[in-house]
Each structure stands twice: as structure tokens, then as C-alpha cells.
Amino acid sequence: MEVVESAPFNNSSSAFDLESSHTSPLHLPKSFQIRTVYLVLIKPKINVLLPFGPLAILLHYLTPKHHGWVFFFSLIGIAPLAERLGYATEQLAFYTGPTVGGLLNATFGNATEMIISIYALKNDMIRVVQQSLLGSILSNMLLVLGCAFFTGGIIHHKKVQVFNKAAAVVNSGLLLMAVMGLLFPAVLHFTHSELHFGKSVLSLSRFSSCIMLLAYASYLFFQLRTQQNLYTPVHEVADNSEISDEEEELELTKWEAIVWLAILTAWVSVLSGYLVDAIEGASESLNMSMAFISVILLPIVGNAAEHASAIMFAMKDKLDITIGVAVGSSTQIAMFVIPFCVVVGWCMGKEMDLNFQLFETATLFITVLVVAFMMQEGTSNYFKGLMLILCYLIVAASFFVHVDPQNDDD
């Protein structure tokens, strides 16, 4: 969940003091086993889905041929873990301040997508990596943002909901830069204009990925250090203290948040392995293309936390946080997660590149343009939300009938 741009952090000395009297990780009190287990595992209603994770693992070993059910149960089991990862990251951000908190959110906010992608890379499923990350961007920008605009517009139909245009414009610019990074390798490949056939696209992708990571790091520095006033939410000046009391509630200590972050990340890693192993079998048993599963089904689970948060804040007429959650998360994936996966693949000896094929790249380009035009006025209503949702339905239908051309080549 993205909170870099909007949710105010506690910058007081007591909150930033990392050497306070909080319990060390080696001597956790007995209350940790009761209070934090309740807060993390029992209190959230979405955690009723947690048993589906162990059930997927059990089903994997008992009935190895039923890959469809293993895939389906793994998807359901990962959904609450993705939401809890966002919660633990927000709690830890209280103690690190906005700069480190922004880096934490960039790393762990999309941890589910990153872990699934790394497992898929290890299994040489490069197209699954590319399409699942693309699907996360499309889902956040069209489905998540559309549902938030639609819900907020219905509840606040008597007024015009507004948000900070400056933050939205910068995010749109970064997304267009990401489209540029994905477009040139695809055009270079399909126009057969490579200097060294089979190598130039990979080299260009790795170079562009390093540039995109540098651009995203510069964006974090620009946002959190030099231009903080530019990103002040519309309503924050009037009721900053009220928002802080209402939205920000410290429930975990620093080490409790770190321990739970490690536990949840490890559990997501385990389930992601079974999920990736079952993708191909699920595609055959469910009679669905790999493209539809990777672009549509996988991101819906990975974006479960963003979806719920964006709608909740839109209902509270806090669209700046909604934009930060939905569009900001897309920016993270496009400018951080995708280039990061290219670099990780480089280190692993895998030929992960930015050539997402023409169909996927064109879909992303049109989506970024549509969302940028929707946000250029700095206002929202239910009709804009409905348009974004309908656009996502068109995208989903397109990938349902889309066959990956690279599969034919292989």
C-alpha cells in the first residue's frame, strides 16, 4: 500500500528515536505473543482467508494433478498476507521518519508482486513476470482507481471531490517515462533494427532499467526532501491534526513491526513458490491463457490491500491518499519493481528484458494516457470512476482472447 505521498508521518523526536526503550527482538515480552497476534492475525476480518494458504500446500502434495485448485487456494491465501504486509510497513514507518518510510513502502508495499516475480524468474518464466507486473499497473490505474472514484462520487454526489494536481501530474510523467522505457525495446525488436540481433534489446533494457531506478530514487528525494509543500494534500492544511489522530494509530512497537514484517514476508515467499509452480497446470485445467491469468488474476490478489484502502479513503473524501495508493503504487511498479526485476534477472543470469511485446506495451500506453486525462483537472466524480472500470473490463476481455505470440515461437 502506498502512503509515501499523503499520509503524514510522525516526525517528533520521540517517534524518530530508534534507541528508545522498546523491547529488543531477542527479548520479546510475553505480551507480544498475545497482543500482536491479535492485532495482526485475528482482528482484521480479511484474515478469515488465511487457512487457504496451508490448504493449498496440503493439496499440492495430496493431489499433485489438481493444479487449478492449488493455484486458486494460493491466490486466496496470499490476499490477507498482502494486506498485513502493508499494515506492518506503515507501523514501522512511525519509527523511521518519512524518508526511510518512503523507501520501506517502495520495497514492501509491492512485496507480493516482487516475490512472485523473483520465483517466476528462477523458473525461467519471464513472460509471467512481465505480464503480472503489467497487470498490477493496469489493475491499480483502472480498476482500483476507478472503484475509488465511483464509490466516492456516489457517496459525495452533492459535491465535487478534489485532489492535488501537482502530485498526480508528476506521477503521470513518471508513468510516461516508464512507457518510454518499455516502448523502445519492443519497437527495436519488432522493427528488426538491432545493431546486434538478440543482444541489443537486452543491453538496452538493462541500461534503461538502471536509468529508471535512478529516476525513481530522484523522485523520492524530490518528493520527500526538496518539494514537500508541493505534495501537501488539499485538506491537510485545515485539519492536519485531526487527520493525524484519525488515520495514524500506533499499535506495534518497532521490533514487533520488524518481526511481523519478516514473518509475513517469509510466508508470502512460501506461498508464492506453490503459486508459481501451479500456474501452468492451472492454465491447462481452467482452459485459460497464461496471459489472462498473469495480467488479470494475479494482480487482483496482489492489489487487494490497495483496492480496499483506496475505496475507504475515497469514501472519506480524502482523494489525495487515494491517488497515492492507486497511482503511486503503479508508479512504484513501473519505475522500481520492473527495473529491479531486470537487474535481479541480470544477476541471476536470466535474460529478463523490457520487451513486453507490442500488445502489452500498447495497452499500457493507452491506459496511462486515459488516466492522465482523467486526473488533469484535479477533480473526481462517479462518472470518471465508471469510465475507468469499463476500460478495465475491455482490457480484461482483450487479454482473455489474447494468445502470447512468444509461446508460438517457443
Torsion angle (degrees, nearest 10) of CA 187, 188, 192, 194 = 180
pLDDT recorded at residue 24: 42
Q: Count CA atoms closer than 13 A to 105's CA, side-chain side.
A: 31
Tell me what pLDDT residue 369 has.
94
**Residue that the C-alpha cell 515467499 belongs to:** 269
Main-chain dihedrals φ then ψ at residue 289, nearest 5 degrees: -70, 155
Could you count the other beta carbons within 10 Å of the beta carbon of residue 180? 12
Does 19 have pLDDT greater than 50? no
In contact, 137 and 333? CB cutoff 8 Å: yes
DSSP state of 229: G
pLDDT tens digits along 229-242: 554 544 443 344 34
- pLDDT-derived band of residue 100, with 50, 70 and 90 as boundaries? low
The span from the CA of 93 to the CA of 76, in Å, is: 27
pLDDT recorded at residue 64: 64
Grade residue 406 by pLDDT with cuts at 50, 70 and 90: low
Round to whole Å and give the CA distance between 152 and 191: 45
- 107 confidence band (pLDDT: 50, 70, 90): low
Grid cell at residue 203: 543491453
Instruction: Please report, for the chain, the start and end positions of each structural domain, with discontinuous segments joined by +.
Output: 49-230+252-401
Torsion of the alpha carbons at 87, 140, 146 and 360, rounded to the nearest 10 = -170
Amino acid 10: pLDDT: 45
The one-letter amino acid at 385: G
Q: Residue 213's pLDDT is what?
A: 93
CATH number of 49-230+252-401: 1.20.1420.30
> Quick one: cell of 254?
518497532
Tell me the three cell numbers of residue 143: 480498476
All three cell numbers of 140: 491499480
| 39 DSSP assignment | I
Query: pLDDT tens-digit profile of 184-231?
Result: 999 888 888 878 777 889 999 999 999 999 999 888 888 776 655 554
8 pLDDT band (50/70/90 cuts)? very low
What is the pLDDT of the chain when averaged over all its residues? 78
Higher pLDDT, 21 or 277: 277
Which range is most confident: 161-170, 264-273, 343-352? 343-352
Cα–Cα distance between 390 and 150 in angstroms, integer? 11
Which pTM was predicted?
0.77
> Confidence band (pLDDT; 50, 70, 90) for 70?
confident
In terms of Cα–Cα distance, which of 391, 410, 407, 389 is closest to 145?
389
DSSP β-ladder status, 161-162 and 379-380: antiparallel
